Amino acid sequence: MSKPKVILTRKWPDEAEKKAKELFDAVLNEDDHKMSIEELKEAMCNADALCPTVSDFQINSDVFGVENLKCKIVANFGVGYNNIDTNAAKEAGIVVTNTPDVLTDCTADIAMVLLLSVARRIGEGERLVRNKEWSGWCPTHMLSTKVTGKKLGFIGFGRIAQAVAQKAHFGFGMQISFYDPYPPSDEIVKKFSATKFNVLEDVLKDSDFVTLHCPGGGENTNLLNNDRFALMKNSAFLINTARGDVVDENALVQALKNNVIAGAGLDVYAKEPTVTEELLGMDNVVLIPHLGSATTETRVAMGLRSLENVKAFFDGKEPGDRVA
């Protein structure tokens, strides 16, 4: 029996691509180009399974609605799947999966990197040294914000958020609070001695640092806007490792320029890879290029998890990470 044909929309780590070729008739993206809408449509007609990523064009009703549709499963390479219109997938009879769990720790690490970096002015300081502008130590040079013991508020308190809380609470003695419409068990709340707020705004008012861990798109688009930035302490920092469209970047620029908040650490952006121009010149912002899951171990694990879902499907089993 011939193997199912699987198309990977971007280049994967070697170990994951090797596994793809072992399990399936795998078509690789050797030059790692961003596939066009037409290429995605063609893939839907030629492949039994498609493995896309968050950086692809939106896989929507236009793509799912092609004539001679062959694809049966879209196995996303990533935990977030707002790059896929799941309702359109359901209408087309296509299964959608993601890759949770395997990127939890590394994304949580990046959230802490951003938090520490923006609070302690690490990016600004490194640029000073690299540009040979540092004149030496003095008592008032580059005074910054202490992290240990401060209040850390979460918007969304799922797996990645809890991994951040683990590091922040037990490593830095930070006081944890959160808002989540689907809150975790009382046992988890008790573990972190966390305060559970019933409305998002209360987290913003209470926190020294606000970290975002909610899905993008839909009602969460521009969740952090002018009105909500106004509720934050003017000494507070925003951390975003979730999805870029959760933050109104123009509102963020104004909040930073007008000292409504003290700073921000961003790993994701509303229109990647484009970043709002004014953010680029701000010293009180740390900007990194969507590195949350960017370790070799994690990216390999993401690829393998995606392939596990495809294999389960074609083995006649329910994929473990099905989201549609």
Contact 179, 269 (CB under 8 A): no
Kindly tell me if the per-residue pLDDT of 95 is higher than 90: yes
Mean of pLDDT values over 110-115: 98
Residue percentage of the chain with pLDDT more than 90 = 99
CA–CA dist 50, 9 (Å, integer): 7
Q: Is 299 tagged catalytic? A: no
Dig out the tokens for 46 from the structure. 């030629």
Q: Is the dihedral of CA 74, 80, 81, 87 positive or negative?
A: positive
**Active-site residue among 228, 243, 299, 305?**
243
**What DSSP designation does 230 have?**
T
Contact 47, 7 (CB under 8 A): yes
| pLDDT band at residue 53 under the 50/70/90 scheme | very high
Give the C-alpha distances (Å, rounded to integers) separating 162 from 48, 99, 101, 167. 36, 17, 12, 9
Q: What is the CATH number of the domain that holds 120?
A: 3.40.50.720
Regarding whether 309 and 237 lie in a shared domain, the answer is no
Contact 202, 226 (CB under 8 A): no
At 1 the pLDDT is 72
Regarding whether 244 and 159 lie in a shared domain, the answer is yes
At 38 the pLDDT is 97
Kindly tell me if the per-residue pLDDT of 162 is higher than 80: yes
Residue 322 inside a domain? The answer is: no
Residue 307 inside a domain? The answer is: yes
Domain count, the chain: 2
**Active-site residue among 42, 201, 272, 297?**
272
At 73 the pLDDT is 98
Dig out the tokens for 37 from the structure. 């809408």
Beta bridge partner(s), residue 154: 178, 211
Residue 108 inside a domain? The answer is: yes
| Opening angle at CA 265, ends 142 and 34, nearest 5 | 135
At 188 the pLDDT is 98
Task: Print the domain residue range for 32.
Answer: 5-100+296-314
Q: Is 272 tagged catalytic? A: yes
CA–CA dist 99, 302 (Å, integer): 6
Kindly tell me if the per-residue pLDDT of 301 is higher than 90: yes
Express each pLDDT in 58-86 by its tens digit. 999 999 999 999 999 999 999 999 899 99
Phi, psi angles (nearest 5°) of residue 156? 95, 130
What amino acid occupies position 68? Answer: N
Kindly tell me if the per-residue pLDDT of 267 is higher than 80: yes
At 200 the pLDDT is 98
Beta strands in 118-169 (DSSP E): 151-155
Q: Is 243 tagged catalytic? A: yes
Regarding whether 220 and 85 lie in a shared domain, the answer is no
Beta-carbon contacts of residue 94 (< 8 Å; ≥ 6 apart): 64, 71, 72, 73, 74, 324
Contact 197, 278 (CB under 8 A): no
Residue 124 inside a domain? The answer is: yes
Regarding whether 304 and 254 lie in a shared domain, the answer is no
At 279 the pLDDT is 98
Residue 169 inside a domain? The answer is: yes
Express each pLDDT in 206-247 by its tens digit. 999 999 999 998 999 999 999 999 999 999 999 999 999 999
Regarding whether 151 and 40 lie in a shared domain, the answer is no
**Active-site residue among 42, 290, 297, 322?**
290
pLDDT, mean over the chain: 97
| pLDDT band at residue 160 under the 50/70/90 scheme | very high
